[in-house]
Amino acid sequence: MKISSRIVLLSAMFILTLSLAAPAQADVAPPANPPGSNPEPGTEITAVRMVSETVRILIEGDIAEDSRGLAYVTADFSMQNTGNQTETMDVRFPISSNDGFFRYPRITDFRVTVNDAPVETWEIQGEDPRWGDDTVPWAAFSVSFPPGERVFIQVRYTLAGTGYASDPLVEYEYLLSTGAGWHGTIGRGDIIVTLPYEASPQNLTFYGAEQTTVTYNGAEVRFHFEDIEPTHGDNLTIRVVYPLTWRQILWERQNIARNPNDDEAWGRLGRAYKESIRYGKGYLRDDPGGLELYELSVEAYEQALALDPDDAWWHAGFADLLLAKAFYMGGSSELLRALHELDSAIRLDPDNPVALELLENISYWMPEAVVRQGNTFVILYLTATPQPISTPLSTNTPRPSTPVQPMATPTSPSTPVPPSSPSLCGVSLMAPLGLVWLAWRLKKQNLPGTLDR
């Protein structure tokens, strides 16, 4: 059977399995921290309009390895009473939300000033700003709006990032829809996200913000809008590559600029690119920036192997990337190329644990591609007359003769090194063969000491 036919068949089988299964409840989203938000007026109808707003979200770069990240938010609102009578009301701001598991984390360091003067806040109860069907804590503060005058409200707080610990992307939300209760439209606004390094679609993606224009400029990403009545479609979710992972990419780029013939630096860069696009469950980012990073990872692995073709671990790590692409996005050429890389890896190091795990997984799901014969694997797709490859299946998984070094630690304390395996979360029907890779990735995550290059 041709590779493409086999992929189509497995895809159909997987979809059929999903259609017959009970609703999936095991693969839930990770706990979601509360979002940032526009303030709301009190429950009464108001003539006060939000004339403009500027929201600055500063992403922390130097974070602890056990943190999903932090963002510091400063939001300035220019308000104007369009009526002819003074309005005094308790303005509200959501400070908590159901995290999806009926826990209610809160934003921290919440502070408010009105016309540059600090004001007292107190806690009330209100509907969940994210789900709408629950009661959660809100902060309230009193504001007077004289007719025709501008009143300036500033709120400051800290947001915690959301996402699985093994995912390469950290999420932060900002809700414009909570500002819909003010009179008329929001005149104009900017949400400005600042990264600790140059921003690009490779390290910051987003969804929502349907009525905004988006520009990348240096470390900033600006979402600009004018004259909108915000809805849930205007709520913004930004997804930032885990800062420690991106710093590793920048560090390895510097290493290569200093020494372009350093095969280890090229290999580490290929691995860092790979870990910036692969979710914890194995599948890959498919947004434009993620696809660019995939190509960069391929190029880096190719360069590492051109400089040192006898490194079994780079062959195996490259095969890992190619197989993720083949199984989750489709591609018989990637599958064949991955098999060639595995063939090279196992010939150079018959006990290479990554290569053996990959071959065993493929032999189970695609026995016409790889077959296990006793203590050997035969890669059928690589030869018209298959010959056994010497791959003794040993319970021992020794380190390579040259131990894999941890990612190089920058000398500057401002450029920390990421964990060895950050990744992403969720399930995609667009790539149903990902179930194959999911099984292997989950198994691999439970193998102590497994090295993945």
Task: Kindly state whether residues 132 and 47 are assigned to the same domain.
Answer: yes
Task: Kindly state whether residues 260 and 194 are assigned to the same domain.
Answer: no
Taking the CA atoms of 207, 208, 210 and 212 in sequence, report the sign of the dihedral they define: negative
Task: Kindly state whether residues 196 and 294 are assigned to the same domain.
Answer: no
Q: What is the largest CA-CA distance in the chain?
A: 90
Where a domain ends, among 192, 208, 241?
241
Taking the CA atoms of 288, 290, 296 and 299 in sequence, report the sign of the dihedral they define: negative
pLDDT band for position 452 (cuts 50, 70, 90): low
Residue 451: inside a domain: no
Q: Cα separations (Å) of 219 from 201, 203, 372, 416?
A: 12, 11, 51, 19
What is the per-residue burial (b if ≥16 Cβ within 10 Å, else e) of 29-49? ebbbbbbbbbbbbbeeebbbb
pLDDT band for position 417 (cuts 50, 70, 90): very low
Task: Kindly state whether residues 181 and 249 are assigned to the same domain.
Answer: no
Task: Kindly state whether residues 138 and 120 are assigned to the same domain.
Answer: yes
pTM assigned to the model: 0.79
Residue 19 has pLDDT above 60, yes or no: no
* pLDDT on residue 384: 52
Residue 157: inside a domain: yes
- Supply angle C-alpha 224, 225, 227, rounded to 5: 160
The CATH code of the domain that includes 164 is 2.60.40.3680
Distance CA 428, CA 314 (A): 28
pLDDT tens string 29-49: 678 999 999 999 987 799 999
pLDDT tens string 344-397: 999 999 999 999 999 999 998 888 889 988 878 888 888 655 444 444 443 333
Task: Kindly state whether residues 234 and 251 are assigned to the same domain.
Answer: no
* pLDDT on residue 295: 97
- Supply angle C-alpha 408, 409, 412, rounded to 5: 140
Where a domain ends, among 178, 212, 241?
241
- Supply angle C-alpha 14, 16, 18, rounded to 5: 70
Helix H or strand E encompassing 392: none
Residue 453: inside a domain: no
Which residue is listed with tokens 């789900």? Answer: 131
- φ, ψ of residue 443 in degrees (nearest 5): -65, -40
Q: How many CB atoms lie within 10 A of CB 268?
A: 27
Domain that holds residue 385: 3-27+243-445
Which residue is listed with tokens 């696809």? Answer: 291
